[in-house]
Amino acid sequence: MSVLKEFRDFAMKGNVVDLAVGVVIGGAFGKIVSSLVSDIIMPIVGFLTAGVDVKDLAYKFQAPALDGSMKMVELKWGMFLQTMIDFVIVAFAIFIFIKIINKATKKKPAAEPVVPAGPTDVELLIEIRDLLKK
């Protein structure tokens, strides 16, 4: 039973729950960004490139197969380009989001209390001498 209790304690820690929420929200955010790229940005890019759909761009060539025949090979560089645009947008959005969070949670350092300057060593020695004379 102690293993189950340890697992429950581990799973209920704040960090694990926060991570789970982050993963779920991150997945949803990834879908939003993918839709933004594929449904809004890439059609604009396609329009600017005379109707070419970027994700359909590929380099096709024939390569010999192991059995000696020729096979058609396709390098889908357009799909790769679209995925790279997805990544850049997600990375930039996360960067901005983190900057906003850091700015909102940044605490101003508390002003250090002003400590009045005490007597110097010489002043203390003079005071001790005067007390001893009395």
Neighbours of 33 (CB within 10 A): 20
Mean pLDDT of the chain: 81
Fold of 2-107: 1.10.1200
> Which pLDDT score is estimated for 82?
81
Cα-based distances in Å from 17 to 23, 26, 43, 87, 92? 10, 14, 38, 26, 25
Residue with tokens 């959005």: 93
Over residues 50-59, the mean pLDDT reads 79
- Tens digit of pLDDT for each residue in 7-36? 877 777 767 777 777 888 888 888 888 788
Q: Are 29 and 93 in contact (CB under 8 A)?
A: yes
Sequence spans of domains, the chain: 2-107
DSSP 3-state assignment of 61? strand
Q: Are 38 and 60 in contact (CB under 8 A)?
A: no
- Is the whole-model pTM more than 0.75? no
Of 106 and 81, the structure prediction assigns the larger pLDDT to: 81
* Extended strands (E) in 10-104: 59-64, 70-75
The Cα 26–Cα 104 span in angstroms is 21
> Which pLDDT score is estimated for 40?
84
Here the tokens at position 130 are 């005067």
For the chain, give the percent of residues with pLDDT over 90.
1
Give the alpha-carbon dihedral of 32, 36, 38, 44, to 10 degrees. Answer: 180
Here the tokens at position 23 are 């993963």
- 95 φ/ψ sector (left φ>0, alpha ψ -120 to 50, else beta): alpha
